[in-house]
A = this chain, B = another copy of it.
Amino acid sequence: MPFPSVDDQDPPGWQLPLLLFAGFRSLIDELHAHLATRGHPDVRPVYGFAMQAIGVHGASASEVGRRLGVSKQAAGKTIDRLDALGYVERVDDPRDARSKLVRLTPRGVDCLQQSAEIFERLRADWVAQLGADRVRVVESSLRTVVPSGIFPVDVPGWFG
């Protein structure tokens, strides 16, 4: 018996990443479906992560890049699109003439607040389907197993 810890009844190992991704994707898709009906039809998943990285207090483009785990140039491009969509604005940083502070507009703040509410509802949907204990097991298991700390969100570049 070469693999004593693997039960024959268990699914093959390659299903695990697929299931995790499918769960992630379905949550994000549902988020954006709801967001679209609440005045935010053109927000892409990346934009949500970027706004989260900007935060309510604002941040510089370089800082956003650091938080997202991407280069400052990549962060700058995303901020450009967020700016064009009216979700952020750039203002001069009074404490550093090189830097510009990226701040969420009221529209950006609204998007973030709505996202938080929608995620709360989506988690509640999972609880309704699985029971509170199973959802907690999923969460705590993942917390145990993922390397803590890091959180790079350069999904397109990382994956492809």
Contacts and interface: CB of A to CB of B under 8 A. Distances in A.
A23 B142 contact: yes
Given A13-B119, A13-B120, A159-B45, A127 B22 contact: no
A15 to B, nearest CB: 7
Interface residues of A, number: 63
A23 B20 contact: yes
A119 B10 contact: no
A19 to B, nearest CB: 4
Contact of A141 (B10, B31, B119, B134): B134
A126 B16 contact: yes
Contacts of A116: 12-14
A115 B146 CA distance: 20
Contacts of A128: 5
B13 A158 contact: no
A5 to B, nearest CB: 5
**Which of A7, A11, A115: most chain B CB closer than 10 A?**
A11
Contacts of A122: 13, 16
B19 A142 contact: yes
Interface string A130-160: 1010111111011111110001100111111
Interface of A: 3, 5-7, 10-28, 31, 44-46, 115-116, 118-124, 126-130, 132, 134-139, 141-147, 151-152, 155-160
Minimum-distance CB pairs A-B, first 3? A13-B119, A13-B123, A156-B156
21 contacts: A5-B127, A7-B132, A13-B116, A13-B121, A14-B119, A15-B139, A19-B146, A20-B21, A23-B145, A25-B152, A25-B158, A26-B145, A26-B146, A44-B159, A45-B158, A130-B144, A134-B141, A137-B138, A138-B138, A156-B159, A156-B160
